[in-house]
Chains A and B, each alone.
Chain A
Amino acid sequence: MLRIENLTVSVSGKEVLTDINLEIKKGERLAVLGPNGSGKTSLLMAVMGFSGYKITRGNIIFKGKQINGLSIDERARLGMGIILQRPPTIRGIRLRQIVDIIKHNDFDTDKEAEGFNLKGFLDRDVNLGFSGGEIKRSELFQLLASSPELSFFDEPESGVDLENIILVGKVMNQILNKNKDNAALIITHTGYIFKYVKADKGCVLLDGKILCFGDPERILEEVTKYGYEGCVTCRGKKMKRKSRVKK
């Protein structure tokens, strides 16, 4: 569904992602792990087409089509959707208005909002005075309404209390299970969300580069034990091993 080839991205002239290669197949969930500042959010923003994330090299291919030059809304209409960590407040635009524009016909806004504890927020200016948990619920609610084929989750568990993590996990599954082909790119630095949402494969992003692919829970175990620094050492060992073999 999504193929990223040799993607290099810079922000304000500084390279933040280098030579990224990854693929997400239909129905697949890829988790990208990495510490703060490793380039995870930049990866999502660049793939979604946000300004300020300049692609200097490489390709983004979605459903067989190269989308490097498409605008954000064109990508959204092709079937991509995103939840942001820090969405802007827009005065005068109610959450309900956005949902009414993006929702599928069978989406019952009021009924669904109840399940999200968002009933009282529908007629409030979007994100104005929302707490961290409320923002997360509002973002997921919008994503559920539009039900994209490929969802980008940027730190879905950050700023959310335990009770809400369960809800976040439930909704993510609801979005992803709506259609067997629905796929996801989940970004996390703690990995807590794996308790509730299963990822099929994982990778580590460090300093804008992908270090390794593997089983996400396994990667998380290693990271918990050795920290992300361990990834560097591990990678280093692998490289040494490789070079020895070559010799």
Chain B
Amino acid sequence: MQGKKNEKEVPGKEVDIKSYKSGAEEKPYMEDLRKISPDQRKNMLSSGVDPSQRGRSGTYIQMDHSVVHSKSLYPGLEVMSITEARKKHKWVDNYFWKILSVDADEFTKQAELQPHQGYFLRAEPGVKAIYPLQACLFINENNIIQNVHNIIIVEEGADVQIITGCATASDVKRGLHIGVSEFFVKKGAKLTFTMIHDWAEDVSVRPRTAALVEEGGTFLSNYICLKPVKNLQMYPKAELVGRGAMARYNSILFAHPGAHLDVGSRVILKSEDSRAEIISRVISGGGDIIARGHLKGEARRIKAHLECRGLMMREEGLIHAIPELEGSIKDIDLSHEAAVGKIAKDEIEYLMARGLSQSEAQVAIVRGFLDTTIMGLPSELQKVVDDAISACEQEAF
């Protein structure tokens, strides 16, 4: 009998944690964000974080291992480093490793054993902020490891939008980012969380994320990764533990040549009448993408749908869609659809018959494929995403 291949427990390409520098130079706190260098500002902006704070309710910026800014501009919203939060509120400790396991893998262990800050964002009960909070995790030094642990709490009846941008300085080539994030969406609360990754070509990324959504709560997670990154693996999970809770994951990914993206979303519907949707649009421009999705229905009258569409732009590269549905009782409704292919010729020719050139038609189709209107992004963030998509289109053709 043929022996089974030795499969790794943790998917994604291997990362040698020891090959990165664990220390980083201390960066000074900046009360005035105008002091941020033009280069850093540019990189932050392309990840959706605006240092001018126009149209924002608060800002957290971390460079390497130092918190350089943290401030709330809206009453009822707390923005601070995780260290400060643990000092300020003793109860924050109760949220640590509550929905993620510290010994899940080498990266969670690393985040616990060698923590480099992270953010604490909280909306007090009933607070509905008009403008989003923003948080930036920035790698400024080459070849370092950045381990953060973030806690986000949206208390009962609150409604908040959060933009998280992860970026690197222009001269950073290599690095490792480990981001542990635990989200708590309480009864009747709503969180719209948009994460934009704008890494460098040789950066490895290991987010470890989980969300707990209570009765009537809504968790909307948007993930955008269109810029080059070497090696990204994540499989965030939401647990719907209250009646009528809802979670939706939207992801758009572009794999540049040589990139390896192993990205999925998982929702466990534990309560009656809860709903979930996982939607991903992935494009291989020569790199590899493993697009996972997992819906698990454990309660009556739940409804969930998973949709993964992949476009292959070149002869090289890979898209491997792995949708999973798991139901353990009757009276549930789980569905999925997945498709991987090239741009359909009849679609291109249809637009050409309207007078668009072949390349204009291809660009329009790719842009339509990466439709982000469903994400409900604020207008200026939409512009950032549109620009990133335009840059991708240049790369794609």
Number of A-B residue pairs with CB-CB distance less than 8 Å in the complex they form: 64
On chain B, the residues within 8 Å of A118 by CB distance are none
When the two chains form their complex, are residues B371 and A101 in contact, meaning their CB atoms are under 8 A apart?
no
Verify if A102 is at the interface (C-beta below 8 Å from B): yes
When the two chains form their complex, are residues B354 and A91 in contact, meaning their CB atoms are under 8 A apart?
no
Q: Which of B90-98, B135-143, B345-353 touches A?
A: B345-353
Q: Within the assembled complex, what's the spacing in Å between the Cα atoms of A101 and B363?
A: 13
When the two chains form their complex, are residues B352 and A73 in contact, meaning their CB atoms are under 8 A apart?
yes
Verify if A120 is at the interface (C-beta below 8 Å from B): no
Q: Within the assembled complex, what's the spacing in Å between the Cα atoms of A98 and B347?
A: 12
When the two chains form their complex, are residues B352 and A71 in contact, meaning their CB atoms are under 8 A apart?
yes
Contact-residue size bin, chain B (C-beta under 8 Å from the other chain): 20 to 34
CB distance from A160 to the nearest CB of B (A): 20
On chain B, the residues within 8 Å of A93 by CB distance are 351, 364-365, 367-368
Name A22-50 residues within 8 Å CB distance of B: 48, 50
Q: Which of A11-19, A82-90, A179-187, A199-207 touches B?
A: A82-90
Contact with A along B358-370 (1 / 0, CB 8 A): 1001001101111
Verify if A174 is at the interface (C-beta below 8 Å from B): no
On chain A, the residues within 8 Å of B353 by CB distance are 48, 50, 72-73, 76, 81-82, 84
Verify if B28 is at the interface (C-beta below 8 Å from A): no
Verify if B344 is at the interface (C-beta below 8 Å from A): yes
Verify if B30 is at the interface (C-beta below 8 Å from A): no
Verify if A115 is at the interface (C-beta below 8 Å from B): no
Verify if A236 is at the interface (C-beta below 8 Å from B): no
When the two chains form their complex, are residues A102 and B354 in contact, meaning their CB atoms are under 8 A apart?
yes
Verify if B322 is at the interface (C-beta below 8 Å from A): no
When the two chains form their complex, are residues B355 and A77 in contact, meaning their CB atoms are under 8 A apart?
yes
Verify if B356 is at the interface (C-beta below 8 Å from A): yes
When the two chains form their complex, are residues A90 and B358 in contact, meaning their CB atoms are under 8 A apart?
no
On chain B, the residues within 8 Å of A81 by CB distance are 353
Q: Helix, strand, loop or mixed for chain A's interface?
A: mixed
Contact with A along B333-350 (1 / 0, CB 8 A): 000000000001111011
CB distance from B385 to the nearest CB of A (A): 14
When the two chains form their complex, are residues B350 and A76 in contact, meaning their CB atoms are under 8 A apart?
no
Verify if A59 is at the interface (C-beta below 8 Å from B): no
Q: Which of A73, A87, A92 contacts B355 (CB 8 A)?
A: A73
When the two chains form their complex, are residues B351 and A98 in contact, meaning their CB atoms are under 8 A apart?
yes
Verify if A51 is at the interface (C-beta below 8 Å from B): yes
When the two chains form their complex, are residues B344 and A97 in contact, meaning their CB atoms are under 8 A apart?
no
Known contacts A51-B345, A90-B350, A92-B367; 18 further A-B pairs (Cβ under 8 A): A51-B349, A72-B353, A73-B352, A73-B355, A73-B356, A76-B354, A88-B347, A90-B351, A91-B309, A91-B368, A92-B368, A92-B369, A92-B370, A93-B364, A93-B365, A101-B356, A102-B355, A125-B368
The 5 closest A-B pairs by CB, nearest first: A92-B368, A92-B371, A72-B352, A93-B368, A76-B355
Name 27 A/B residue pairs within 8 A (Cβ), A-sorted. A48-B353, A50-B349, A51-B345, A51-B349, A71-B357, A72-B352, A73-B356, A73-B357, A73-B358, A73-B361, A76-B353, A76-B355, A81-B353, A82-B353, A88-B344, A88-B347, A90-B350, A90-B368, A91-B369, A91-B371, A92-B365, A92-B367, A92-B371, A93-B351, A93-B365, A98-B351, A142-B354
Which residues of chain B have a CB within 8 Å of any CB of chain A?
A: 309, 344-347, 349-358, 361, 364-365, 367-371
